[in-house]
Structure 1
Amino acid sequence: MGPPRLKAPHEVDAMAASGAILAGVLDALAAAVAVGVTTSDLDALARELIRAAGGTPSFLGYRGFPGAICASPNDLVVHGIPGPRPLADGDLLSMDVGVTYDGWVTDAARTVLVGEGTDDDRRLVAAGEAALVDAVAACRPGNMTGDVGAAVQRRAEAMGVAVFPSLIGHGVGRRLHEEPPVPNVGRPGQGIHLRPGLTIAVEPMLTLGRPAIRMAGDGWSVFTVDGARATHAEVTVAVGEDGPRVLTPWGGDARW
């Protein structure tokens, strides 16, 4: 384990170009989610869009992963393998995407409802996005990774949902996973210093049930232990001299 690799301003700009592709892909995937669409359909769409923009899917083939996206419905928290399962009214779907462009990797995820969903589902998705916004706000010089985790934890608990302490974010840049680990729980003032040029994937993963997980037999899919639904919201963030810069602004710049 070495120190985090800090990026120069021109390198952050290069990552932003990768992130712009990714944000567009995530928004297109969210718009394509509908009853009867399969997660394989969404995977094919992501491959087409990423390659048309001159990028490559970072997840495809990573440690043997067979998809360009992770598609995780309902109680599947993360790392779901795309397949022939058609989406049904009332499903909750998390989509995680990585893009490599000009040698720079970015990583982001969002969760959408298929149809209206329940009040609890809407609260869960809203909690994930609110926790992500709070976590991004904590990504400023002088703070620590513990401040980021504490921000996620505070927002989740205030909205009545639970955080998976074992599922964390990470550094990102030339590789999909770099130092440092970025927790979703923590204490302010603890962990790794956030310095200008640090680029990290911040990704709250929350549930309506118990914050415990089980691994499926495929070696990838991570489920809740109790069948409760989960949400995943993620952006790649650069720590700047004046504060955070979201490099994968899905949902529009105004959100960030």
Structure 2
Amino acid sequence: MGRIHLKSSQEIEIIRANGRLAAQTLLMLEKAVTPGITTLALDRMAEQFIRDHQALPSFKGYHGFPSSVCCSVNEQVVHGIPNAKKLQEGDIITLDVGVYKNGYHGDSAITVAVGNITTEAQQLMKVTKEALYLGIQQAQSGERLGDIGYAIESFVKKYGYGVVREYTGHGVGRELHEAPHVLHYGKANTGIRLKVGMVFTIEPMITMGSHEIQVKKDGWTAVTKDKSLCAQFEHTITITPNGPDILTLP
């Protein structure tokens, strides 16, 4: 991961423009998610949309990843590869999109309901999104990185949910993944001090059961070991003198 690169205001505005495009791509996909659509179709729509805006999908070809969108359904945690299988009523799907343009990346993710879902799945999505925003609130200049993970973990624990540990938030800039690693669990008042100009993602992956995961034979798709549902929401943010600024709003 290396050193943390503090970003200039010009760099932050480029990342914001890319973050906005990532968010707009997700909004477009969210409207398209209905029972019967394939994740392959969603992937093609996203790639077209991103390229139509003179940008590139960050994920395509990244360490050999074959697609533009990570589509993770139900017990899939992250890095689900789009395929020809149709989404079913009652599924939940996490859509994760990265956009590259003008030398910088933007990165965002949402979890979407496929048709009508159970109240349990609805609660998991709601709590995961709330946890993300609680984490973002902690991202204050002079505070510590561990405060973010602590806020997320202590909130979701009340619901008996698990926090995936193997995948973390990360710095964003010229590279898709930069320093620092942003854990979604941990102790308050630990870790590095947050500084103005840092840009990173917060992207909790919250499971309905155990936090334990395994990676499937494709080498990419991570699933919960106990097959419980997993939800994720992700924003790219920057630290300003006045608190956190979300760079991935549509």
TM-score range for the pair, normalised by the shorter chain length = over 0.9
Name the TM-score, length of structure 1 as normaliser.
0.96
Alignment partner, residue 131 of structure 2: 131
- The residue type equivalent to 2:143 in the other structure is N
Q: Report what 2:61 is aligned to.
A: 61
* Partner AA of 1:164 in structure 2: V
- Measured in 2, the distance between the counterparts of 1:166 and 1:218 equals 17
> Amino acid of the residue matched to residue 232 of structure 2?
H
Structure 2 residue aligned with 1:14: 14
1:205-255: CA deviation from partner (whole Å, max 9, x where unpaired)? 0011111000100000000001111001101001111111101025xxxxx
Q: Which residue of 2 aligns with 1:253?
A: none
TM-score (structure 2 length as normaliser) = 0.98
- Deviation string, structure 1 residues 21-49 (Cα, Å, up to 9, x no partner): 11100111111100110000000010011
Kindly indicate whether the alpha-carbon contact (under 8 Å) linking 1:147 and 1:189 is maintained by their aligned counterparts in 2. Answer: yes
Q: Which residue of 2 aligns with 1:83?
A: 83
Q: Does the 8 Å CA contact 1:207/1:229 hold for their aligned counterparts?
A: yes
Is residue 4 of structure 1 aligned with residue 4 of structure 2?
Answer: yes
Distance 1:12 1:196 in 2: 11
Structure 1 window deviating more from structure 2 (241-250 vs 200-209): it is 241-250
Following the alignment from structure 2 to structure 1, what is the Cα–Cα distance between the partners of residues 244 and 115? Answer: 33
Provide the identity percentage.
38
Instruction: Give the Cα separation in 1 of the matches to 2:230 and 2:139.
Output: 24
- Compare 218-227 and 158-167 and name the one that shifted more: 158-167
Q: Counterparts of 2:144 and 2:97 in 1: how far apart (Å)?
A: 26
Matches within 5 A, 1:228-239: 228-239=228-239
Count of matched residue positions in the alignment of Structure 1 and Structure 2: 250
The 1-side partners of 2:48 and 2:159 are apart by: 37
The alpha carbon displacement at 1:165 in A equals: 2.1
1:51 equivalent to 2:51? Answer yes
- Of stretches 169-178 and 149-158 in structure 1, the one that deviates more from structure 2 is 149-158
**Which sections of structure 2, spanning at least 5 residues, go unmatched?**
none
> CA RMSD, aligned part only?
0.9
CA distance in 2, matches of 1:19, 1:7: 15
Give the AA of the match of 1:77: V
